[in-house]
Every structure is written in C-alpha cells, then in structure tokens.
Amino acid sequence: MSEVPGVPPAQQLLVGLARLGQAIRMDAWRNSGPYTLSPLQADIIAFLDEQAGPRRQGDVVAALASTPPTVSDAVKVLRAKKLVEGVRDPADARAVVVRLTPEGEEEARRLGAASQVMSEAFAVLSEADLAAMLRGTAAVMKGLQDRHAIPVSRMCLTCRFFAPDAHPRDAARPHHCNFVDAPFGDAQLRVTCPDHQPADG
C-alpha cells in the first residue's frame, strides 16, 4: 500500500492560516455595514473598543502594525463619520488622543458579532476543537510577539494575572485568572482582554 506523502504540518498550517486570513479580510469587506468601513477602519474601531480608555494615534499604529499616514487618513475618515473623536490627553495637554463616540461604540458592538458566514464555518468545530485552536493560536501569537514579529496583544499568555495549570486536577478549567480570581479552561483563553496587565510590567 502506498503512503500519503509527508508534508510538514506547520507548512500546511501556514497555508491554511493564510487562506483563513483572506477569508476574514473578504468577510470584513462584506460586513462593512452602515458606515461602509474599510477593514482598517473596522480594525481601528475594534482596537479602541478593546482599550480601557482613549489612545494616542501612535498606539493605534503600533497595535495594527500600520504606518502613521495610513492610520491618520483612516482616523480622519472615522472622525468625519462621527465614529471617533479626538480629545486632549489628560496625561499631556499638548497631545491628542482618540476615542470612540457613542455611535462608534455601537458600531464596535456590531463588528464584534461574528458574521453569518463565519459563524456557520466555525459551527463545524466541536468545543474541544475550538479550545485547541484557541490554545494553539495564542501560543503561536506569543511566539511571534516574543520575536517582535507582530504587535503585542493583551492576551492571557502575557498577563500577570494568568496562572497556567494552577488547577492540574481540573481538566476542564486548569488555569486561574487572578484578576477575577476564578479558574478557567483553554476555551476561555483571551487573546484580547481589557483587564490585561503585562507580566513584566
């Protein structure tokens, strides 16, 4: 009997992830909503929504691995659409920070709901598969962050409140979040969390 030729799984995974990235981008264009948001404009709204408060434009540039002119243009458009506004930075009166308007917060909620296409595609996965994918994705993200290959995310794996495998006898919820003082499992791992504080901060 012949054998299926071996291909490194990481290589196949990279191809698959690239296809998923394309699908997510295409979905963002389809889901541009009432404000006809570009994917970058949607990313800016999602980023500001994740933050505990207003952020400088430079933070947006770093978080989205973009460039100052590109983000500046997108923020101008979002301001014209009245989804974000600029306010004085309380920490530095000469600086301006951007934040979501109430309309922007509403748009963030719409963007936060998975589209029908994505919901249907992910529905084929079991809870265990979803948890394993989330755990693997978070681990690869951390590896890339450690190598300065992607912007830093406010994720459990880099959070000072994260205690991995603190409950080894609880297979469903082995980890502990010291912020909310509760056990949790891989399925609840966060790759973006408003309560995150850097482990080395």
Residue type at 128?
A
Joined together, the tokens standing for residue 11 give 């290589």
**Contact with ligand SF4 (CB under 6 A): which of 83, 84, 111, 156?**
156
Rounded to a whole number of angstroms, the minimum distance from the CB of residue 70 to ligand SF4 is 28
Alpha helices in 31-56 (DSSP H): 39-50
Question: For ligand SF4, how many residues bind (rule: CB under 6 A)?
Answer: 10
> DSSP secondary-structure letter at 33?
T
Distance separating alpha carbons of residues 130 and 121, to the nearest angstrom? 12
Question: Would you count residue 177 as binding ligand SF4 (CB under 6 A)?
Answer: yes
Residue 162 found at the interface with ligand SF4 (CB under 6 A): yes
Distance separating alpha carbons of residues 179 and 159, to the nearest angstrom: 10
Contact between 174 and ligand SF4 by CB under 6 A: the answer reads no
CB 56 within 8 A of CB 64: no
| Binding flag, residue 193, ligand SF4 (CB under 6 A) | yes
Residue 195 touches ligand SF4, criterion: CB under 6 A:
yes
The dihedral over CA atoms of 49, 194, 144, 140, expressed in degrees to the nearest 10, equals -110
Q: Of the two residues 35 and 162, which places its CB atom closer to ligand SF4 in the complex?
A: 162
Among candidates 75, 69, 6, which has minimal Cα distance to 43? Answer: 75
Nearer to ligand SF4, 20 or 182 (CB): 182
Verify binding: residue 35, ligand SF4, rule CB under 6 A.
no
* Sole window of 8-16, 62-70, 99-107, 159-167 interacting with ligand SF4 (rule: CB under 6 A): 159-167
Q: Does 47 bind ligand SF4 (CB under 6 A)?
A: no
The maximal CA–CA distance of the chain, rounded, in angstroms, is: 74
Residue 141 sits in the site that holds ligand SF4 (CB under 6 A): no
Which range, of 33-41, 59-67, 91-99, 193-201, touches ligand SF4 by CB under 6 A?
193-201
d(Cα 62, Cα 76) in Å, to the nearest integer?
18
Question: Per CB under 6 A, does 161 bind ligand SF4?
Answer: yes
The closest alpha carbon to 175, from 145, 183, 12, belongs to: 183
Binding footprint of ligand SF4 on the chain (CB under 6 A): 156, 159, 161-162, 177, 179, 190, 193, 195-196
